[in-house]
Chains A and B, each alone.
Chain A
Amino acid sequence: MSDDDTINPADRGKLIAAEYVLGVLGADERREVERRLTQDPALASEVAFWEERLGALADAVAPVTPPQHTWSRIEAAIPAAAAARPTSLWQSLAFWRGFGIASATLAAASIAAFAYFGFVPAARPPLMATLAGSRGQPNFVAAVTATGDSLVVVPATLLTNDPRAIELWLILPNQRPRSLGLIQPGEPIRLTIPPDLAGRLTADATLAVSLEPPGGSPTGQPTGPVIASGKLTSL
């Protein structure tokens, strides 16, 4: 696209992001931009800028209700809820080892969790969650203690030295996320579950971890990227 030499090269570099978002590029150029997006944060942030700003143009498009059957097709195309989470810790351990991710840390995490259960008589089936990131890699292991009033969280992989705070959230069906507190990269932590939530950590609850400003989310809701999430599962 050197056909417009009246635009200076610095601007040309920025324009490609705008052209991508606007939708004027051909298929090959689009693939090229998408390939660069994964390794060029400046380009990614430029694309995000335009998506956020130009997105308002979509307000001019009249909503059209899709046909009834579309939802059932979507539901059929996504994995069943049960298949998405491991059925036992050992199965999931094998799974993680298969990917060779931080298995030593994970083993330590599971041993810590088991040691925990070992000392406290089990009053109920123990609940655990593996919190995985967007590419399926496990980032945290969380276990509800047998007394049901606290949660042990063990980082399975070391995080980067991101200065942001790491906040753990409990998400019950049809409810807004509730903060369970801040956790530390690289060290296990025991969090006390707020009394009103203690009885509600059941197998349909989701735990999620987000990156927040130092001190935690200022709004009481997740404001930063969710780096890991997973459902509680009975062992």
Chain B
Amino acid sequence: MDEDATRSQLAAALVRVAGGDHAALRMVYQDTSAKLFGVCLRILKDRSEAEDVLQDVYVTVWRKAATFDPGRASPITWMVAIARNRAIDRLRVRGAGGRLQPIEAADAVSDPAPAAVERVELAQQHQRLTRCLGELDARHSTAIRAAFLDGATYEELAGRMNVPLGTMKSWIRRGLLKLRACLER
């Protein structure tokens, strides 16, 4: 199915969820749960915690479906944001005592557009983001990707990339400002 059809079908299902339709929530779950579970798992790195959070995510989707605005956000982006927020909150509760893993080799390569270019169907949004990240200093874009995917704090990122905290903050903030300017062009 093409992307527009998937998007409008998912948006329509969310409108039905807002009306209290269980079957519609089930449909949304079937279409999106593998994606959202992947996102939660990547942040939490623990299956059982990711399952708890996933459950919480769909209960939240059920409660907040009426606030979803199809004119402003794509349905999957809206749900990814809920999943990331829940997973990051859980991660913060767990505390910083956790794992300081080195950033994966695939993320750390200096090529700012790694696996992305191999994709046949790149959404426009993704293409633009990839291009704009490509204009950043490679270390800045690596830090931004890692922050998004792992939900890591500045402190954790500084530890993982082995730079002082102030340097990490400066990399990410400068990267974000430049990214914003590029995305708005």
Q: Which residues of A contact B (CB under 8 A)?
A: 1, 3-4, 6-7, 11, 14-15, 18-19, 21-27, 30, 48, 51-67, 70-71, 73-75, 77-78, 81, 84-85, 133-134, 169, 171, 173-174, 176-177, 206-208, 210, 221-231
Contact = CB atoms under 8 A, between A and B. Distances in A.
Nearest to A74: B58
A61 B21 contact: no
Contacts of B170: 4, 6
Given A23-B147, A24-B154, A66 B80 contact: no
A23 B123 CA distance: 23
Interface residues of B, number: 83
B153 interface: yes
A229 B66 CA distance: 8
A3 B70 CA distance: 39
B16 A206 contact: yes
Contact of A18 (B69, B119, B176): B176
B79 to A, nearest CB: 10
For the complex of A and B, list the 6 residue pairs with the smallest distance between their C-beta atoms, beginning with the closest.
A206-B19, A63-B34, A55-B77, A56-B126, A134-B66, A27-B92
Nearest to B84: A23
A226 B68 contact: yes
B102 interface: no
Contact of A78 (B25, B70, B130): B25
Residue among B84, B145, B170, B172 with the highest chain A CB neighbour number at 10 A: B84
Contact of B12 (A14, A27, A177): A177
Interface string B1-30: 000000011011001101111111111010
A24 B129 contact: no
Contacts of A56: 123, 125-126, 129-130
A225 B71 contact: yes
A51 B73 contact: yes
B120 to A, nearest CB: 12
Interface in B46-89: 51, 54-55, 58-59, 62, 64-74, 76-78, 80-81, 84, 88-89
A133 B77 CA distance: 22
